[in-house]
Amino acid sequence: MKIAIINGPNLNLVGVREPEVYGGQSLDAYLQELVKAYGNVEFELLQSNHEGELVDAIQRVGFSVDGIVLNAGAYTHTSVALADALRSVTSPAIEVHISNVHAREEFRHRSFIAAACRGVIAGFGLDSYRLAVEAIIKWATP
């Protein structure tokens, strides 16, 4: 079982950045725990602040992994390129958000990538990532 977890801009600062919204734990520390908890899953973890690097990452993993967990950060609300990248590969993706984007500013209610994903998980804090991993394991287990 192979799962890629791809994180977009400013998610490297979770733990420091707006802790009242994103919590006080770093994403790095959380994902290390997640990887340990799922010893039978091969994870590929990537974070980039650059849209093109996220497109490259989706293209690179998107024909081999069982699922992509994608928190595109602010690019969620702007990026046709990420939506096209997700539609260009064969691995299904889940759009993930730490915060409940629908309870926040109106510009966060719109996602360019949701329709290119199998599902969306938002608002469960960092646990949103684990829920996405669980969903992929469920659909990828015969």
Using CB under 6 A as the binding rule, whether residue 91 contacts ligand DQA is answered as: no
C-alpha distances in Å from residue 7, one per residue of 14, 57, 116: 11, 10, 17
Per-residue burial over 94-120, b if 16 or more Cβ lie within 10 Å, else e, is bbbbbbebeeeeeebeebbbeebbbeb
Among 28, 108, 124, 137, binds ligand DQA (CB under 6 A): 108
Smallest separation (angstroms) from ligand DQA to the CB of 72: 7
Amino acid code (one letter) for 87 = R
Beta strands in 20-118 (DSSP E): 42-47, 67-71, 93-97
Smallest separation (angstroms) from ligand DQA to the CB of 39: 26
Q: Would you call 50 a catalytic residue per the annotation?
A: no
Size of the site for ligand DQA (CB under 6 A): 10
Among 45, 74, 81, 137, binds ligand DQA (CB under 6 A): 74
Among 65, 86, 97, 121, binds ligand DQA (CB under 6 A): 97
Task: Identify the burial level of 53 via C-beta atoms within 10 angstroms of its C-beta, where 0-12 means exposed, 13-18 middle and 19 or more buried.
Answer: middle
Amino acid code (one letter) for 69 = V
Are 93 and 86 a contacting pair, CB within 8 Å? yes
Among 93, 98, 132, 133, binds ligand DQA (CB under 6 A): 98
Q: Would you call 22 a catalytic residue per the annotation?
A: yes
Using CB under 6 A as the binding rule, whether residue 73 contacts ligand DQA is answered as: yes
Q: Which positions are annotated as active-site residues?
A: 22, 97
Which residue ranges make up the site for ligand DQA (CB under 6 A)?
A: 10, 71, 73-74, 76, 97-99, 101, 108
